Structures are given as structure tokens and as C-alpha cells.
Amino acid sequence: MTRLLRWGLLAALLWRVFGPRIQPEFKPPQDHPLLVPGRTVFVGDTEYLVREMGSGQGVPILLIHGLAGASLTEWYQVAPKLAVERWVIMVDNRGHGLSARAARRFEIEDVADELAGVLDEMGVGLVDVVGYSFGGTLAQSLAHRHPGRVRKLALLATFATHSDRDRRMRRVGTVLWRGWERVTGTGTPEIRGGYLIATGAIDKRHRRWIWEENQRRDLESGARATFAMLRFDSTGWVGRLDVPTMVVVPTRDFLVPPAWQYQLAGLIPGAEIVEIAGAGHEIVWSHSERVAGELIRFLT
């Protein structure tokens, strides 16, 4: 048995070093769901990819995506519905999508300030802000650090903080997972893409696209973003945000437990809570119609 294990490990190592990277095959037809060209904007020496849709009047909507994703891959179903009457701005966060990699340690507040800088470079003042998951921490921080800039705030499947126990567990998990990805060359992109496909959250025609988009993830940037998220804590100030706020809670979320989301809503006086029964953390894909409808209602 020991000999068999040694030979198995040797074979795995040789394949890792010399073998091709296997890509899944997807049944045709396969196509891109939303062809929206982007442009880059510099904030200091950090380059951000920005995509825009719509030309409606009124306050623009800033959509902020989550961890390990990108603006188009997470908002491609929701954004077109909002863009019918509004100007929609989507930004790839630092270290995600087509924006610059995260070369150094950073905090959530740093990225929030850079998002404000992107808006400055675009000549955009007041915005409605929608943050999903990790993007919800950025949305909270943007509203906190740049008061008067955010008209309304929508927080989807997100949180105010981690408990000490959860923070410790997720830090250890992140270190171990980063090590696994370094050694094997596989991890988050495959798990994320595979999960969205397996749950049926992605249309069959778009599976190849979502798989390939997830492969853009930079391992080290992802780890730095995860650690920044784990350090985030808005419990001391989120209740002082003088902004109409809606908290959307998918009731079967296993990545951000609903209890964390209700805690966030409870910290914000007057926050509206919208429950989407049976939805998981993949809410922006699986329940895009409902999400878009609630956002249109709240932001109008």
C-alpha cells in the first residue's frame, strides 16, 4: 500500500510538472451572454477595469462584485435590467477580473477609497451603491468613508463582521487552501465554476464562458482579498450611516449565514430587510429576476 501511494504521488507530481492542464468540454452551442466593452481608469498607480451600461437620467448605479469574481461574471444578468432606465457602472475590484493584481497587503477601506477615485476620474458624483457578498463590505466602507456620496445602499448576502471563532477558522482555511492551490494548480476557479454549473445557476449556453472567466483569478490576489475581508469589521460605525439601506437575505446561504446578515440589518436603523426564500449565496445568478426587481423598486 505504501509503495502504491509513493508511485501515485510521483505520478501526480510528474503530471503537475509536465502534463497538460485539462479543461472540461461543454456541449455546444456556447456563447458570451453580455458583450459590454470596458475601459481602464487609473487611481494613483492602480488600474481598474470599468464597464458601463445604459444612459438613463438620474443617479448612476454602482455595482460592486464579490470575492473571486468579476463585475461582468456576477452582474451580467442583473445589470441589463437596471440599465433600461439608469446608468450602470461596474468595476472589477483590485486583484479581480481585468483590474490590476493586488501586489501588496490591503484593507477593505483602501479599495473603497479607490472606488471613489474611479468615480472621480469618471466625473461621477452621487451614486446608488449595490454590494454583493465581499462587495457588500466595500459598499459599507464607501458609504462610511465618503459621506454624502452614496444616495442609497443595497447590501446583498453580506455581513458586518466575523466572530473571533469564525475569523480564526477561515484564516486557517485560507492558508491551507492557498497551499493546495500552489501545489496542485487547481482550486477556487474550478470549485466556483463547477458549483455554479452543478446547481443550474448558469444557463447551459454560458457554461464555457463562466468557466473561462473564473480562470482569470490570481491566487495571491485572492488570498490577500480574503484576509482583508476577514479583518473587516463595521459593527462600530455601520449604524451611523445616514443612508437609506436595503439588506437582501438569501435564506439558504451557507457562505454568509443568514444570521450574520440579520445582524448587519439590525445594526442599521431603519434598514429594510428583503428575504429571498430558498436562495443560496449564488443569488445574483439563480434569482437574478427577483434581485433586479427589488433593486429597481428600492432605488427608484
What CATH number should be reported for the domain holding residue 137?
Answer: 3.40.50.1820
Question: At a CB cut-off of 8 Å and minimum separation 6, what does 236 contact?
Answer: none
Model pLDDT for residues 193-239, shown as the tens digit of each residue: 889 988 889 999 999 999 999 988 888 999 999 999 999 999 999 99
Please check whether residue 291 lies inside any domain of the structure.
yes
Judge if pTM exceeds 0.85.
Answer: yes
Please check whether residue 5 lies inside any domain of the structure.
no
Closest CA to 126 of 141, 110, 138, 142: 142
Please check whether residue 6 lies inside any domain of the structure.
no
For residue 272, pLDDT over 70 is answered with yes
Query: What are the backbone dihedrals phi and psi of residue 222, each rounded to the nearest 5 degrees, phi first?
Result: -65, -40
The shares of helix, strand and coil residues in the chain, as percent rounded to the nearest 5, are 45, 15, 40
For residue 1, pLDDT over 70 is answered with no
Structure confidence at residue 7 (pLDDT) = 79
Dist CA 104 CA 73 (whole Å): 25
Please check whether residue 12 lies inside any domain of the structure.
no
Model pLDDT for residues 59-76, shown as the tens digit of each residue: 999 999 999 999 999 999
Model pLDDT for residues 11-51, shown as the tens digit of each residue: 767 767 777 777 788 999 999 999 999 999 999 988 999 99
Number of domains in the chain: 1
For residue 2, pLDDT over 80 is answered with no
Count, residues in the chain: 300
Domain of 37, in residue numbers:
29-299
Residue type, 16: R
Please check whether residue 11 lies inside any domain of the structure.
no
Please check whether residue 116 lies inside any domain of the structure.
yes
Q: Average pLDDT over the chain, rounded to whole?
A: 93
Query: What are the backbone dihedrals phi and psi of residue 282, each rounded to the nearest 5 degrees, phi first?
Result: -80, 30
Please check whether residue 211 lies inside any domain of the structure.
yes
The answer to whether 56 touches 83, Cβ cutoff 8 Å, is yes
